[in-house]
Amino acid sequence: MAARLGEDGNLQALAHFITSSPWDAAHVRARLAWRMRQAIELTALIIDDTGFLKDGDASACVARQYTGTAGKVANCQAGVSLHLASDGTSVAANWRLFLPESWDPASPKADAAKVARRTKCGIPTEAGHVE
């Protein structure tokens, strides 16, 4: 989508559209997985984690945590994804940000400032840290 917008496209508006749209993300992801399952010859399911290094803490779920991206503990977000794969194709069918303990109000390691930012970041109240 971003490539189709070109250099004059409003990437911020696109990001806002994707993150603030009222659609049910679970439904969209299930439909994507179903369509891709029919389009590729599935040979493997791949579960992967990726670190997104961050300088500050303005983004959701940023914490000092280990990431293979840096090969050490760093200030980052951690994303977990499920890919449908074949010999020559891979598609991300589901993905989530990892919610660190410091962002979970039920955790003894909760950080009051981060917990207070959950609503602004769009983190559902029922979302919690999972080991």
* Per-residue pLDDT reduced to its tens digit, 65-81: 999 999 999 999 999 99
- Indicate if the pLDDT at residue 7 is higher than 80: no
E strands, the chain, are: 44-53, 63-67, 72-85, 90-97
Q: Report pLDDT for 3.
A: 66
Q: In which band, very low, low, confident or very high, does the pLDDT at 8 lie, cut at 50, 70 and 90?
A: low
Instruction: Please give the mean pLDDT across all residues of the chain.
Output: 86
Predicted structure pTM score: 0.71
Residue carrying the six token digits 């990892």:
98
Q: Which position has the higher pLDDT, 11 or 85?
A: 85
Q: Report pLDDT for 42.
A: 86
Reported for 63-68, long-range contacts at CB under 8 A and 24+ positions apart, including other chains, are 63/100, 63/102, 63/103, 63/114, 65/98, 65/100
Segment (H or E) for 22: none
* Per-residue pLDDT reduced to its tens digit, 15-64: 777 677 777 778 888 888 888 877 888 899 999 999 999 998 788 999 99
